[in-house]
Amino acid sequence: MLKDLQQKKKQIAVVGLGYVGLPVALAFARKFRVIGYDIDPDRITMLQRAEDPSRAVSPDAFADVDITFTANPDVLKQAHFFIITVPTPVDEYKVPDLKPLHLASEQVGNVLKSGDYVIYESTVYPGCTEEDCLPILEKQSGLKLGLDFRLGYSPERINPGDKERTLTTILKVVSGSDDVASQVIREVYGSIVQAGIYVAPTIRVAEAAKVIENVQRDLNISLMNELAIIFDKLKIDTHEVIKAASTKWNFLSFTPGLVGGHCIGVDPYYLLHKARQVGYDPQVIHSGRRINDGMPVYIATKLVQMLLQSKKHARQAKVLVMGLTFKENIADIRNSKVADLVRELMKYAINVHIVDPYASPNEVAQEYRLTLMDKPSAQYDAVVVAVGHDEYKTLEVPYFKSLMNESPILLDLKGLYNVAKEDQITYWRL
C-alpha cells in the first residue's frame, strides 16, 4: 500500500474536513495524492480557495499539496486508503450522537473495494469501530473484514490553536484489525509523523487510550473546580493555594475553569455510555462531569450575589462577557460553556453584551442564538473575562474601570490579572 501511495498509483481519502480532518489531509497531501471530502459544499468552496472556515489553518498550509477538495461522494471511489475524521458529539441528553460517524461509514462502504483500508480517527468509546462502524462497512460494500479489506483506528491528537504540537510532531498511536493492517497503517502514518508511531495491540485499546486522555483531564479540572468552590466559601484565593502546593515536586498543577469544547467536555460521556451498557455505573467520572457542567450556574449565581452586595439589581444590570470560544486564541465555539454562562445570566434578566476577537458572529447566532458585538460599549455594572485570549492578557485595571459605572465588578475566570485593594474594583476569580 505504501509504495502505491508513494508512486501515486493509489490515493488517500480524508472524510470530514474540520479541525481534525483538514490538518490530516494537508499533511498527507504533501507526499501523496489526497481526496479531501466533506458533506458541506460551502466548506469545500472555501477550502478550494485555500480558506479554512475554522480559521485554524493558515493559507500557506495549502501550498504545494496534491489534494482535491470535493463534496461529491462518488469521487471517493478513486481512493484506497480512507481516514474518517468526522465529529462525534453528544445529544441534548448527553448520549453519544453517532449519526455523523454512521453516515461517513455508509459513504465509505458504498465505495469500498478489495484491498482497501479504513482508519477511524474520531473519538469514540471502546468497541465502537468494530461493533458499530464495521457492520455498516460490510453491509454497504458486501465485503468482509480480513478477506477483502482491513480496518484501523488512530486517535486524533489535534490541539486547536497549538502551533508547536502539531500533527507531525506528536507521537501517533495506531492500531489495526490484524498484524498486517497494523504494520501498513504504521508505515503510512509514519511517512508523515516525525515524532514516531506507537502501535496499540488492538483497536479497542487505542479507542480506550484516546477517551481516557480527556477523561483524566476532565477529572483533574473538576477537582480544581470543586476546590475553588470550597475555597471561595473559606475566602481563600484558589490560585494562591495552587501556587503554594505546586512547590511540591509531585503536585499536578491544574487550574479551575469552564470545561467546554468537543473533547474534554464530551468524551467522558462516551465512556460513561459504554460502561453503563456493560452494567457498570461510573461514580467518579459522572461526578466530575456533574461538577464541570454545573460551573456556569455557579459563576452566574456568584455574579448575581456580587451585584446585590454592590446594591445593583440584576434586572437593571448590564454585564459584558469577554470571550465566547471554548479556549483561547481559536474560533471554535462548539460546546462553549461561556454560552451556557450567558444564558444563566439572562435567566436573571441581566442585559448581557458579548465580545470575542476570534468567534464568528454568524456562527454564534446560528449555534446559540446570541449576538456578538463588534466592541464593548460602556456603563457596565460588571465585566466577565471568560476566555484567556492573548488580546485580553495585556489589559489592565484602568481599562476595565473605564467600561463600568460606579462600584465596578470584575470576574476573572482565567486568573489573568493581579488586582490590588487600592485599585478600587471588586475582583473575583475562580
CA distance 141 to 114: 10
- Render pLDDT for 255-279 as a digit per residue (tens, 0 to 9): 999 998 888 889 999 999 999 999 9
Q: What is the pLDDT of residue 38?
A: 97
Q: What is the pLDDT of residue 161?
A: 67
Are 185 and 191 a contacting pair, CB within 8 Å? Answer: no
Relative to beta strand 150-153, strand 172-176 is antiparallel
Nearest Cα neighbor of 266 from 122, 430, 369, 84 is 122
257: left (phi over 0), alpha (psi -120 to 50) or beta: left
Relative to beta strand 426-429, strand 351-355 is unpaired
225 DSSP 8-state letter: H
Domains 2-201 and 218-429 share a fold: yes
- Give me 36's grid cell: 479531501
Active site residues: 263
Average pLDDT over every residue of 282-294: 96
Pick the CATH number of 2-201 from 3.30.1240.10, 3.30.465.10, 3.30.70.100, 3.40.50.720: 3.40.50.720
Helices (H), 247-389: 267-277, 284-293, 295-309, 337-347, 361-368
Are 5 and 81 a contacting pair, CB within 8 Å? Answer: yes
Considering the entire predicted model, what is its pTM?
A: 0.92
145 DSSP 8-state letter: B
- Render pLDDT for 308-356 as a digit per residue (tens, 0 to 9): 999 999 899 999 999 999 999 999 999 999 999 999 999 999 999 999 9
> Which residue has 454560552 as its cell numbers?
339
Are 15 and 133 a contacting pair, CB within 8 Å? Answer: no
267-277 helix and 284-293 helix, angle to the nearest 10 degrees: 140
Share of the chain above pLDDT 70, in %: 99
Describe the strand order of the beta sheet including 11-15 as a list of residue ranges: 67-70, 34-37, 11-15, 79-84, 117-120, 150-153, 172-176, 197-199
379 in helix, strand or coil?
A: coil
- Give me 421's grid cell: 485593594
What CATH class is the domain 218-429? alpha beta
- Give me 316's grid cell: 437593571
The domain spans of the chain are 2-201, 218-429
Are 361 and 372 a contacting pair, CB within 8 Å? Answer: yes
For the cut 90, the answer to whether the pLDDT of residue 54 exceeds it is no
Q: What is the pLDDT of residue 2?
A: 81
CA distance 301 to 97: 31
300 in helix, strand or coil?
A: helix
